Amino acid sequence: MPFQSMVFKALVAALSVSTALAAAVPEKHSSKIVSLDFRREKYTGGKSFNGTAASGEKRDVIPVDLGRDQIMYLIQVNAGSEADTITVQLDTGSSNTWFPVVGATCPCSESARYDPDNSYTSEYLYGPLTLYYGIGQAQGSFYKDTVALTEQPQVSLSNLQFAGVTDTDLNYGILGIGFDNGEFTTEYPNFAQTLKDQGYVSKNAYSLYLNSADATQGSILFGGKDTAKYQGQLSTLPITHPYRLAVALNSFSIGSFSVNGNQTNSMFDSGTTYTWLVPGIFDPLAAHFGWTQPDPSNPSHIGPCQGDDVVFDFGYNTKITIPYNLMVLPYQGNQCYIKIFRTRGTEVLNTLGDNFLRSVYTVFDLDNRQLQVAPVVYTTASNIVPL
């Protein structure tokens, strides 16, 4: 690189650092709440991904009909000094953030990629690395750079660490907002923790509102909650897993038939569409209700299209009721796909995805290692308060 270019890049980088440091002063963010709407999108192509988070395997193959029913929650960020606009999937079940880079092999848009070579604030850290997602994976290297929210460009994080991915099966990048120690590599401050570290919120905590099944968007409040979006009071549940956003399940019921949950860790995962239960819970349900598996190589089961409400009992006087129709998808005649799956990973972990989370308003309090939950209220009314 010519000396003049080196000097110019150094000057720009220095100015960027100065600006970032100024932006990180907590007094500049008096509300201490970052409110963000996300777009709800149905999966339309490429491989079908879903599944458990066992051993980092967060996606699994499912049938085409169910694949078309999968949901993603998408936001846009601007990465680097040139503000490359990138669409990412909001994922409480992951900790890492990654973006496809220019020239990457992936089913993602050519125009929505990160270009580290064109960013004066980009810092290469190390690589190569592989992030595993079951049948899918993302390969690349780690960088640090400035990342801002497209919807709120004033929320700009300097030196955020993320992966620049060169090869992946996934349609979009991931914005992982789980625990830092859930990362596939050496622990580092991820997006949610960096929001706190740089003064945009007072604590590493956020609330999630997925909205109704026919809605096109939902919202997440970093550092805040919306009291208009839930019924009654929030119940507090201790997080029981060392690095997942998971709580213990007391029991799982459909109508009058109940199965002991055996205090199994159950992760609240916005990056998964369906509910995945460990064999000890799933098998008694399948036997009792006559769920059948047409293809032994595929985890999908077929069962009745009509049924009683589904109830998750987490103890602490906390039960979440899900309408049965959210747990099925038409198959043939009076038979439906059951949108509850049997886990196949090695980790003993239930995964509660979109068809659970849409019925509950959830506060994820990572600082205090607890979740707060209440039945959701679908409304345009709003009353946002700090956490």
Question: Who's near 321: CB < 8 A, 6+ residues apart?
Answer: 309, 310, 311, 359, 375
Task: At 123, give phi and psi (nearest 5°).
Answer: -130, 115
223/364 Cα distance (integer angstroms): 10
* Residues 252 and 261: beta-carbon distance below 8 Å: yes
How far from 197 is each of 17, 30, 87, 260, CA to CA, in Å? 16, 15, 24, 41
Cis peptide before 128 (omega within 30 of 0): yes
The CATH architecture that domain 3-208 belongs to is: Beta Barrel (2.40)
363/235 Cα distance (integer angstroms): 10
Boundaries of every domain in the chain = 3-208, 224-386
Residues 194-205: tens digit of each pLDDT: 999 999 999 999
Residues 30-89: tens digit of each pLDDT: 579 999 999 998 765 444 333 333 333 444 445 545 544 578 899 999 999 999 999 999
338/349 Cα distance (integer angstroms): 19
Q: Is it true that 3-208 and 224-386 share their CATH fold?
A: yes
User: Based on the number of CB atoms within 10 Å of its own CB, is 368 exposed (0-12), middle (13-18) or buried (19 or more)?
Assistant: middle
Q: Which two tokens stand for residue 91?
A: 């994922």
| Tally of CB atoms within 10 A around 201 | 25
Model pTM score: 0.87
pLDDT at 185: 61
pLDDT above 50 (res 323): yes
pLDDT above 50 (res 9): no
pLDDT at 346: 76
Q: Label residue 127 by pLDDT band (50, 70, 90).
A: confident
Question: Who's near 86: CB < 8 A, 6+ residues apart?
Answer: 76, 77, 78, 79, 99, 100, 112, 113, 114, 173
User: Based on the number of CB atoms within 10 Å of its own CB, is 346 exposed (0-12), middle (13-18) or buried (19 or more)?
Assistant: exposed
pLDDT at 316: 96
Distance, CA of 6 to chain centre:
39
pLDDT above 80 (res 149): yes
DSSP structural state of residue 28: G
Provide the mean pLDDT of the chain.
85
Q: Which of 37-46, 113-122, 290-299, 355-364 bottoms out in mean pLDDT, i.e. has the lowest?
A: 37-46
CATH 2.40.50.140 matches 224-386: no
The CA radius of gyration of the chain, in Å to the nearest whole number, is 21
Which of these, 329, 300, 312, lies nearest to 371 by C-alpha position?
312
* Residues pairing with 89 in the sheet: 74, 174
What share of the chain in percent tops pLDDT 70? Answer: 82
The set of catalytic residues is 91, 269
pLDDT above 50 (res 23): no
Using the structure block, give the residue that is written with the tokens 């899918």: 136
